Amino acid sequence: MRFLESKDNSLVFLIEPRGQSILEKLCRKYPAMEVSYFELCRTMDEDELPDGREVADQMMTEEQNEVRDRIGRLLEEETRFEPSKGLFRLRLSADEVNLLLQILNDVRIGCWVRAGSPSEGAEDLLRADPQRAPLLATMQLCGFFQGALLDGLNRQKNPSSDEDEGFELEDFQP
């Protein structure tokens, strides 16, 4: 997947059929994070907060439901992935790019938590573990798509950017 152009306030990405299928599968894994995973504070008692943990969890659940519904509708739009010479043109607004980033990061962090929250540089250990290797692969795939989406946003803001030509799925080695 790579950024193609910015058109009518939308970002257009080129994505191959395999990439489209993987992206959809990753999005369907949302939500992967437990709503109560993140602590609200470290040095204060959560009961001191006006809303507290229960309300925070409720808000997060509502947010997750809304995001899941939005991505479900987006993926089911017939014209979202427009065939073009054996590839697809994926057209997204900046808001939709942010939605995808949020979803992919949730799945990425959710896999990391399920893999035991390994420290940086633990990829070799994960690859050798048949239980955790798929989690690592999912994390890296999410990272690949996140990189392509962030690259698209950057290029939309800086059209003269002369960085490389974006991310290719072939370049990605899980």
Stretch that binds other proteins, among 12-20, 79-87, 130-138, 144-152 (CB under 8 A): 144-152
Q: How far is the CB of 82 from other proteins (least distance, A)?
A: 26
Q: Does 56 bind other proteins (CB under 8 A)?
A: yes
Asked if residue 33 binds other proteins (CB under 8 A), the reply is: yes
Name which of 18, 114, 120, 27 is nearest 71 in CA terms.
Answer: 27
**Contact letters for other proteins, residues 90-129 (x by CB under 8 A):** --------x--xx--xx-xx--x----xxxx---------
Our CB check for other proteins shows the closer of 87 and 111 to be: 111
Q: What is the dihedral of CA 93, 95, 96, 101, to 10 degrees?
A: 130
Stretch that binds other proteins, among 14-22, 57-65, 80-88, 163-171 (CB under 8 A): 57-65
Sign, CA torsion 20/115/101/60? positive
Among 147, 166, 168, 172, binds other proteins (CB under 8 A): 147
Measured distance CA(67)–CA(69) in Å, rounded: 5
Q: Of 9, 43, 79, 173, which lies in the binding site for other proteins, with binding defined by CB under 8 A?
A: 43
Phi-psi region of 96 (alpha: psi -120 to 50; beta: other; left: phi over 0): alpha
Gyration radius (Cα) of the chain, Å: 18
DSSP state of 11: E
Judged by CB under 8 A, the number of residues near other proteins is 33
SS (H, E, C) 65-105: HHHHHHHHHHHHCCCCEEEECCEEEEEEEHHHHHHHHHHHH
Contact set with other proteins (CB under 8 A): 33, 38-44, 49-51, 56, 59-60, 63, 98, 101-102, 105-106, 108-109, 112, 117-120, 139, 143, 146-147, 150, 153
